[in-house]
Amino acid sequence: MSAIQNRYEFVYFFDVTNGNPNGDPDAGNMPRLDPESSKGLVTDVCLKRKIRNFVEISSENEVGYEIYVKEKSVLNLQNKRAYEALGIESEAKKLL
């Protein structure tokens, strides 16, 4: 597998009825709304998470498709797995 050489753009449409596609934690997880149109808003972070989840589910156990930033994951454990796979020894750092 080679690295992506080109930029890819796409459109991601989804529809929600009687649901909350992207709650606002600062507002008690109420749906995010455009104050002028009262239509729901979805942040770029939410869309990226939905796409990452799709890639992880649809490409499960395929080499090169594992997602680094997973939901509810500890990045130190992800780093350790990557170091072990590459045969790199991690160095412990001391805090001042």
Residue spans per domain, the chain: 1-69
Other CB atoms within 10 Å distance of the CB of residue 93: 6
Q: Determine the Cα–Cα distance for residues 61 and 67; give it in Å rounded to an integer.
A: 11
Among 28, 30, 29, 32, residue whose Cα is nearest residue 43: 32
Phi, psi dihedrals of residue 30, rounded to the nearest 5° = -70, 155
pTM for the predicted model, two decimal places:
0.65
| Vertex 74 angle, CA 70 and 76, to 5° | 120
pLDDT tens profile 35-80: 999 888 899 989 988 888 888 889 888 887 888 888 788 888 888 8
Comparison of pLDDT for 15 and 1, the residue scoring more: 15
Task: Supply the pLDDT for residue 30.
Answer: 92
Share of the chain above pLDDT 70, in %: 96
SS3 33: strand
